[in-house]
């Protein structure tokens, strides 16, 4: 039996075949969309704690000013031993001589305007 003979037997590519073909194609399109969108929506931009000087007009935040608020390595190991030192220094700050969790964060907007990390407020869960 030739393909053309078989095609004559089953008929043309009708509405049912088109609908079935479309549904099959859609099921193969959704997984890649979900996988690749995660790369952009759940990216973690660089961030730091918001310090009291951030709201002052005309104030330029320098590294020297930021270093006053960042806990030292020994403070991180003593008070927050469950997390890494680098994570401690990004998520905790020293204000008036005491170490506390950051309440607000400043995010780098170079690559992303908004991400899932910014939308879900985890600052109160530390």
Q: Which residues pair with 107 in a beta bridge?
A: 47
The Cα 55–Cα 59 span in angstroms is 8
Of residues 101, 92, 114, the one with CA closest to residue 45? 114
Q: What would the DSSP string read from start to end of 28-55?
A: HHHHHHHHHHHHHHS----EEE--GGGG
- Mean pLDDT per block of 10 residues along the chain (126 residues) reads 74 82 86 78 81 75 84 87 86 86 85 78 51
Other beta carbons within 10 Å of 80:
19
Structure tokens that stand for 101 in this block: 């969790």
Q: Which residues pair with 113 in a beta bridge?
A: none
Looking at residue 119, what is its pLDDT? 76
For residue 126, the model assigns a pLDDT of 47
Output the pLDDT for position 16: 86
């Amino acid at each position: 039996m030739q393909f053309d003979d078989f095609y004559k037997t089953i008929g043309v590519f009708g509405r049912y075949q088109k609908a079935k073909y479309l549904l099959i194609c859609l099921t193969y399109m959704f997984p890649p969309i979900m996988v690749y969108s995660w790369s952009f929506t759940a990216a973690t931009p660089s961030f730091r704690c918001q310090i009291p000087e951030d709201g002052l007009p005309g104030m330029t935040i320098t590294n020297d000013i930021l270093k006053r608020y960042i806990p030292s390595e020994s403070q991180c190991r003593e008070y927050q031993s469950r997390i890494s030192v680098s994570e401690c220094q990004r998520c905790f700050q020293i204000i008036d001589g005491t170490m506390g969790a950051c309440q607000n964060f400043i995010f780098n907007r170079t690559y992303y305007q908004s991400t899932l990390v910014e939308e879900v407020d985890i600052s109160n869960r530390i």
